Structure 1
Amino acid sequence: MLRILMAAGACLALIACGPQAWAQAASPRAEAFAAPPPYHNISLSPSGQQVAMIVQRDSIFHLEVWPVGASAPSATYAFGAARAPNWLVWKGDDRLLVSVSVPTGIGEFQLNQTRLVSFSSRLTQPVVLSDLNNRMRFTPVYQDRLVHLLPDDNRNILVQMNSVQPFRPTVYRVDVRTGRLTEYRRENDLVRHWIADAEGQIILGLGDPVRTDTELFRARPRHWEVDAITLSGAGDIFNVQGFDGDPDRLVVLSNHEGPTTGLYIYDLAAGGFTQTLFKDETYDALSAIMSPDGHRVVGAGYYSDIYHTVYFDAAARERANGVGALIQMPETLISDQTADGRYVIAADYNVARRQQAYWVDTVASVVRPVGQPQNPLADYTPAKVIPINYAARDGLTIPAYVTLPPGLTRETARGIPFVVMPHGGPHARDNAEFDFLAQFIASLGYGVLQPNFRGSTGYGEAFRQAGEQEWGGAILDDVEDGTRWLIAEGLADPSRMCIVGWSFGGYLSMMAAVEHGDLFRCASAVAPVTDLPHLIEEESKLYGGGTIIRRMIGRMSTDAARLEAESPARRAREVSMPVLIAHGTVDDVVPIIQSEKMVDALKAAGKDVEFLTLDWGDHSLSRTSGRLVYLQRLEVFLNTHIGPGVAEPASQPVPVS
């Protein structure tokens, strides 16, 4: 669980999932909503004439290279079931760098280590750019942390690797054709991440994430020494995004003005913040948008109900508006662009049922679609997503989203069956953009409530911190309060309600199954945490894990009784409703033993439980095969316990392999 909560401290998951040993009637609807997006990551070559992307076909990830305007890829490379590419970027027009996850077991944990692989533009001659001298036992090794592409050097890049000390990376100059590593900056006990300026000179080091205070260090000319920088009024958050022209001008996400995080210039020479670039009083800034050449900051990205970009640089704003007009999408996200800004890859993420990417020549005003995406959801009407707010019992305002079955509005949806779907994290949030699970459930005829309970991100640091050590307390109360709001508003039929959650949302689902039998008729969870003492014990074996997880949920030495009471696996006898649990076998965020503990306890108590073990399934069930199995079973589960939903088209048998 820690690895999804604290990206800086460990792994973020990708997933895989294999065929199961059973067959059942496949719903065409489940097949449509389980289908992968047209691409998982995309990159434009420096000349702007080739596009590389990660795609999924038949539950296997592939790399593809498309010449601009081509009707088929010029090169394809398939990964095996145990490998998942994370991202890709061009190194010149003739080499492609790809981050790949490598499953590794450490105790009860399935952890993903990473490697950086260099391919020719024909996707041949792969070279693993790796330091294989790994001397660590309880920390996954990351070897894809790109520090700088060195665009003026046609052979080398800078990569930091933590193969010697946990969170103490050494920076290497790496030859992308041979894989040869040359030490460029030695590890330092104080630094966990190195930052280079636009020219490729390493300027700064960031401190250890296990510590609670903000630390910043200036790199000395000698390649292992640093000087601590005293920060003035930094706030709880001080996240360096890059440099604005001068190495002393840091582009920083900070909440020093409170209550939300904004984007600022922090001038090291002046010793403080000198410019506010973007600040919203309700929502946190998410990221900085840099100029095409990476030298200057030109905008900011943030989420309200959907993702927005705000450009404070006139030329960047004009270019983005021009791209949006050319592809006829006003809310346009520029995914990648050439250094001169002429060629752009753009898409509209705000109607992302099936995202289409476009190649745009901003000078000649030419637009071409990229790839050949299919739209399996073309026959399904999008469900309406309505932003709402409700008051928690202590008066805190909880933002949330209600998704209604197609054809219904807030006024016409009266007394319908509902699914409450709390998000994972807990340090994450839902929004009004396309959510495959919420849209699938709504297409069955159910309403969906997605509460952004306290502890969610995006609404300021105080709101996030309000969820600390409140997993089974105030956070669970927020979910209950949202459910009762649905009933009081007349939207939900109180006799036909189910709770469904993923990861931390799965934890809340299982806790609701224990404590709220009066509200819900059924509960389902994907990859849930179910035993908090066991989670603390196992996370404490990993470097830094104990410190972070105890901060989030508590200590066994002082909070044992509460942690026991907030562990659904230890209260399985109190569950009074049917339960459906699914878990992937290569989940590197929540160990599958957490689900197994819950299932074993439910079975021992004689409860109604079904457990789906999804081969090669990771935390998100991103491969189609595992996601399809879960959607099929969830459809039957919901229709059985709170249905019936809408009438189903004729089903076909699922082939078994």
Structure 2
Amino acid sequence: MFSNVVIKTISVLFLLISFYSVANQSKDNVDSKSVAETLSIKSLFQTDDYRNVSLSPDGKHIALIRNQNDVPVIIIVDAATMQAVNQISFAKKDSVGHYLWANNDRLLIFLHTKQRNEERKAYYGEIYSIDIDEAKGKFIFGVRSLVHRGKIKKNVTEADYEKHLAHPRIISTLESDPEHIIISTSQYGSEGMWVFKLNTYSGAIETLAQVDGYKTDHKTTRLWYLEDKQELWFRTILADNNVVLGRYDFSDDSWIKYNPKQASTELSIISYTQDKQKLIVSDYCGNDTISICLFDPNKQTISSLYTIEGTDVDWLYLDNENKPYALSYFDEYPKFKILDEKHYMAKALAGFLSKFPGYKLQVKWDSTYGEKAMLMLSSDVQPSLWYLFDHKKNKLNYVASSKKTLDVSKLHQQYSFKFKARDDMSIQGYITLPEKSNQKPQPAIILVHGGPHIRNYWGFDPEVQLLASNGYAVVQVNFRGSDGFGWKFKSAGFKQWGESIQYDILDGVNYLIANNYLDKDRLCIMGASFGGYSAVKSSLIEPSLFKCAIASSGVYDLDLLIDDSEEKEASILIDRVGVEVLQVSHSVIHDINKLQIPLLLAHGSKDDRTPLEQAEVLIAQLEKHNKNYQWFEFENEGHGFFNENNQYKFYQHVLQFLNEHNPVEH
């Protein structure tokens, strides 16, 4: 894709390239001696070599997580020399989940722990703090911060212990106070939220505020601390979906509450304007799409500042003085809108976009000087790459690749397409074609996304690439109800799980058949979670369209799903799924007698989102009606498969199943 390659090796891990020369991706990212002849399941799904690459606030150091013999290790790199200066790792029980910079010299590490009889390592609320040049740090939050030599410390009170029984969220790293951060917690088994100032060296906690009087937790409530005005804000969603904002008055320990007009449940605070008179927020603010808006606390009104027709705004880029200079959004492909062409950060962004055409780009400048920026690049045929930009020197340093041994030359391009659904609604999707298409209609896998209120994006997807590398066209439809295309489009999917959403998927398939992209006689449908539901449901609506269906971690009895959910979640589900009559008519278990094709069914035994019972009630109907199916239960897996060996086994089953029921002609 790029030419004029100039590469100079300066260390084992890092390469230097000039800003005016971009290394050819096949040379940057591939060691020819280590690449397998063809793409394999393991090469696509193995743990990333590098992830979570970021700059220290002053831009002098880089931290990144490296997979080292299946152990995540934090590497600290001197940004001036590009030499590694330290590495931080933990025993097998604990592993690095992610981290944040507490200040220029100290990291906050969020440990993931594997519980007994569960494959997935999860975060249980513990924060470990360590200087970047130290070999050992300390727990500053969580039960282990209260323990010394296996016993609870003598001075720990019951109230202290209860404070640490929580999942904290960091709401500010307090750049003006390097020793402290501000966290919010929602404690186990109780309602209400607390805001604490936490010392990142000693672990000492100071209570700042409590959000009380509402049924508040991290699901309904978000908090922000705006350091430039030293203000604490919350946004909470009430039972009737009304939105309340609150600003804490530290002088009398009370909340000043606002009921902003036109506020939605999507409202998120970004910052203050430069004059400190209004809040910059993300919300609909009278538009159909998520926009950048201004909230006036005095008038309690929200007005539109920046909006993109037909697609939600993804991110607002601000400089270190809160001046907007660009925004990003994602319609069919990732895009930017420059807001201030004269701003040096905007000029640099324009340069990056010119030098890296055809890539998704994220830019994060150092927050102290605004002189260095970390770039993350990716595309449909390129997993994530990171580069360090030095504004003064006008140079880029290549830092890392997420999958350094993957042969990207064997990846398949992903293309956007649009069509009209049967009710004339405009629908967008993606198609990835196998390498040797020869302009002939292709055997295909219709890959349905989960949610359903999320969306497919253009970009590298190991599942898509695996299927395409095995000779299948892969079709992904952003059916109505998908996120990112505005409220009207999203809400059009409410209570349409078993009808219009499925019709959109089927209409997309028929559009591609009519335009000679797909072979109508060689189609299968596949998905996980809601996608698993759709794989079965679409096969019941059009019994003769597909050769086979593959469903994992799916939901098959909607009434049962709602009955098994907590009160708040059940209420949301009813709004999205519909009342009992629709729950019954849209549930696939009641129409299994119509199934005419083989079904591969997989589920994790510890799935807490769509419990194993969902698969069991479907299997009972498959047995009752004597249907052709294969069943794989993955012990100790949750919602999705996290153990690499289980991922490998699952996709082996998938490829064998497809080869049996929808083989590719070689």
TM-score, structure 2 length as denominator?
Answer: 0.82
The SS at the match of 2:385 is coil
Which residue is equivalent to 1:537?
563
- Match for 1:290 among 315, 318, 342? 318
Indicate which of 484, 487, 490 corresponds to 2:510: 484
Q: Which residue in 2 is equivalent to 1:218?
A: 247
Separation (CA, whole Å) in 1 of partners of 2:102 and 2:665: 51
Q: Does 1:511 align with 2:537?
A: yes
8 Å Cα contact 1:100/1:115 also seen in 2: yes
Matched, 1:381 2:403: no
Tell me which amino acid in the other structure corresponds to 2:544.
D
Partner of 1:444: 470
Per-residue Cα deviation, 1:145-177 (whole angstroms, up to 9, x for no partner): 111111222321100000167663100111112
Once the two structures are superposed, what CA deviation does each residue of 1:580-617 show, in whole Å capped at 9, x if it has no partner? Answer: 23334554543343334434543454433333334564
1:631 aligns with 2:651: yes
Structure 1 CA distance for aligned equivalents of residues 532 and 109 of structure 2: 32
- Give the Cα–Cα distance (whole angstroms) in 2 for the partners of residues 365 and 396 of structure 1: 47
CA distance in 1 between partners of 2:478 and 2:173 (Å):
38
Opposite residue 150 of structure 1, the aligned amino acid is L
- Within the candidate set 260, 263, 279, 2:307 is matched to 279
| Unmatched runs of 5 consecutive residues or more in structure 1 | 1-25, 647-657
Q: Distance between the aligned counterparts of 1:432 and 1:256, measured in 2? A: 27
2:651 partner amino acid? L
**Deviations 1:449-478, CA, capped at 9 Å, x for gaps:** 111101001111011001111111211121
Aligned partner (choices 103, 127, 139) of residue 127 of structure 1: 139
Corresponding residue for 1:150?
A: 174
Distance in 1, Cα, partners of 2:562 & 2:266 = 25
Q: Which amino acid aligns with 2:322?
A: H
Match of 2:389 among 351, 357, 360: 360
Alpha-carbon distance between aligned partners in 1 of 2:396 and 2:661, rounded to the nearest angstrom: 49
Cα deviation code 1:492-525 (max 9, x no counterpart): 2222110011221111112223333211111112
| Aligned partner (choices 290, 311, 314) of residue 338 of structure 2 | 311
Structure 1 residue 187, shift from structure 2 partner: 2.6
CA-CA distance at 1:327 after TM superposition: 7.2
Superposition deviation, residue 306 in structure 1: 2.3
Conservation of the 8 A alpha-carbon contact between 2:114 and 2:121? yes
State the one-letter code of the partner of 2:530. F
Alpha-carbon offset, residue 237 of structure 1: 4.6
* CA spacing shift, 1:275–1:600, aligned 2, 3 Å: closer
| CA drift at 1:318 | 1.6
Please give the secondary structure, in 2, of the residue aligned with 1:354. strand
Alignment check: 8 A CA contact 2:108 2:128 kept: yes
Q: Which moved more, 1:70-79 or 1:358-367?
A: 70-79
Contact 1:404–1:413 (8 Å) recurs in 2: no
Partner of 1:405: 434
In structure 2, the CA distance between the partners of 1:66 and 1:211, relative to structure 1 (3 Å rule), is: farther
TM-score scaled by structure 1?
A: 0.83
Residue 242 (1) aligns with residue 253 (2): no
- Greater Cα shift, 613-622 or 430-439: 613-622
Distance 1:144 1:290, change over 3 A: farther
CA displacement, residues 219-248 of structure 1 (integer Å, 9 cap, x when unaligned): 223565212213234467533222223443
Is 2:594 the counterpart of 1:583?
A: no
Secondary structure class of the residue paired with 2:383: coil
Aligned to 2:8: none
> Closer, same or farther in 2 for the Cα pair 1:62/1:111, shift >3 Å?
closer
Aligned residue pairs total 602
How far is 1:85 from its partner?
4.9
Cα displacement string for residues 538-595 of structure 1 (whole angstroms, at most 9, x for unaligned residues): 11xx352122111111233xx2xx3223222444444322222333455454334333
The 3-state SS of whatever aligns with 1:193 is strand
Query: Which residue does 1:183 correspond to in 2?
Result: 207
After superposing the two structures, state which structure 1 stretch, 350-359 or 278-287, moved more.
Answer: 350-359
**CA shift digits 1:359-378 (9 cap, x unpaired):** 22211223222246543431
Cα contact 1:253–1:264 (8 A) shared by 2 = yes
Quote the offset at 1:88 in angstroms.
1.8
Once the two structures are overlaid, the 10-residue window that deviates more, 297-306 or 115-124, is 115-124
List aligned pairs for 1:74-473, cutoff 5 A: 74-78=86-90, 80=92, 85-101=96-112, 113-121=124-132, 122=134, 124-130=136-142, 143-163=167-187, 168-190=192-214, 192-199=221-228, 201-208=230-237, 210-222=239-251, 224-234=253-263, 237-273=266-302, 276=305, 278-291=306-319, 293=320, 295-313=322-340, 314-323=343-352, 332-335=361-364, 337-350=366-379, 353-371=382-400, 374-378=403-407, 380-408=409-437, 412-473=438-499
Kept in 2, the 8 Å contact 1:582–1:612? The answer is yes
Alignment-derived partner of residue 12 in structure 2:
none
Q: 5+ unaligned residues in a row in structure 2: which ranges?
A: 1-36, 147-156
* SS in structure 2 at match of 1:355: strand
Amino acid at match of 1:267: D
Backbone CA RMSD of aligned residues: 3.3
Q: CA deviation at 1:317?
A: 0.4
* TM-aligned CA distance change 1:616 to 1:88, over 3 Å: farther
Change (3 A) 1:129 1:199: farther
Distance in 2, matches of 1:597 and 1:61, equals 39
Matching of residue 48 in structure 1 with residue 59 in structure 2? yes
Greater relative contact order structure (CA < 8 Å, 6+ sep): 1
Assess if the C-alpha contact under 8 Å between 1:111 and 1:589 holds in 2. Answer: no
Q: Which residue of 2 aligns with 1:566?
A: 586
Aligned equivalent of 1:493? 519
From the superposition, tell whether residues 207 and 514 of structure 1 become closer, same or farther in structure 2 (CA, over 3 Å): same
Instruction: Tell me how far apart the structure 2 counterparts of residues 490 and 606 of structure 1 sit (CA, whole Å).
Output: 35
Q: 1:179 to 1:461 in 2, by over 3 A?
A: same
The CA distance in 2 between the partners of 1:485 and 1:149, in whole Å, is: 50
Q: Report the equivalent of 1:17.
A: none
The AA in structure 1 aligned to 2:210 is: R
Q: Distance in 1 between matches of 2:38 and 2:656?
A: 10
Question: Aligned partners of 1:61, 1:406: CA distance in 2, in Å?
Answer: 34
